[in-house]
Amino acid sequence: MTRREFLYYLWAASMALSMAEIGGAILWFAVPRFKPGEFGGVFELDVTAVPPPDTGPKAFDAGRFWLVNLGDKDVTDANLKEVAGLPYAEQQKGIKALYKICVHLGCLYKWVPTNYRFECPCHGSKYLPSGVRIGGPARRNLDVFVIEAMDASGKVLSKTEARFDGQDGTAIDITGAAKLRINTGQKITGSPNSVPGVA
């Protein structure tokens, strides 16, 4: 081997090593690493943390979600008549984890107990406890996070599923569940919910 060949191989090896280090650093920063109990990760809650049916939601700020327990009153709300006859208006009883960000322009909407609904202070979008949009400039229902209801042994009893073409997450039944696992890294988009020219 000549000195020129040795230097060529040495240069090629050092370039390959440099590229591998750069690629490793990019992957280290690009791949998300969420810890349990922080937004983007998984939250495990005891079923005692679930609010009673038809009492309004409970906020979980660390996970950026509202936990709602839809009861008879919520699934037969008189405001549903504004969107009656459309598939996204029909709701089922159970638990939902609603993402706290308004689907219009990303503001933080609030729970207004006197009106028994969510309202966005930025542009006035309004949503029922089920996440169904009933007014304002938003054009779809609220996004939901996937919940798994598990028994004491860790077996999954029920899980949030999309209802329409990958959109509009279902409420789940937690009968027999001991804990809930809410994955804030897995979001189901709310289904479109507006008629052109109508608020």
Task: Map tokens 């696992």 to a residue.
Answer: 181
Q: What is the pLDDT of residue 88?
A: 56
Helix count and strand count (H, E) for the chain: 2, 13
CA gap 130, 156 in Å, rounded: 23
Q: What is the pLDDT of residue 13?
A: 92
What is the 8-class DSSP label of residue 169? E
CA 85 to chain centre: 26
Could you tell me the residue ranges of all domains in the chain? 1-31, 42-188
Q: What is the CA radius of gyration of the chain?
A: 23
CATH topology of domain 42-188: Rieske Iron-sulfur Protein (2.102.10)
- Closest to 53 in 3D by CA, of 130, 111, 150: 130
pLDDT tens string, the chain, 199 residues long: the values are 788 888 888 999 999 999 999 988 888 777 766 666 667 788 888 988 899 988 889 999 888 999 999 888 877 776 666 554 555 566 788 899 999 999 988 899 999 999 888 999 998 899 988 888 888 888 888 999 999 999 888 888 988 888 777 778 888 888 888 899 999 888 898 888 765 444 4
Q: What is the pLDDT of residue 198?
A: 46
- Could you tell me which residues come within 8 angstroms of residue 93 by beta carbon, excluding any fewer than 6 positions away? 53, 70, 71, 72, 74, 75, 171, 173
Q: What is the pLDDT of residue 199?
A: 46
The H-or-E segment that residue 9 falls in is: helix 3-30
Q: What is the pLDDT of residue 5?
A: 86
Contact between 190 and 133 under an 8 Å Cβ cutoff? The reply is: yes
CA gap 47, 39 in Å, rounded: 20
State the pTM of this model: 0.75
CA gap 68, 47 in Å, rounded: 12
CA gap 192, 52 in Å, rounded: 29
Phi, psi of 53 (to 5 degrees): -60, 145
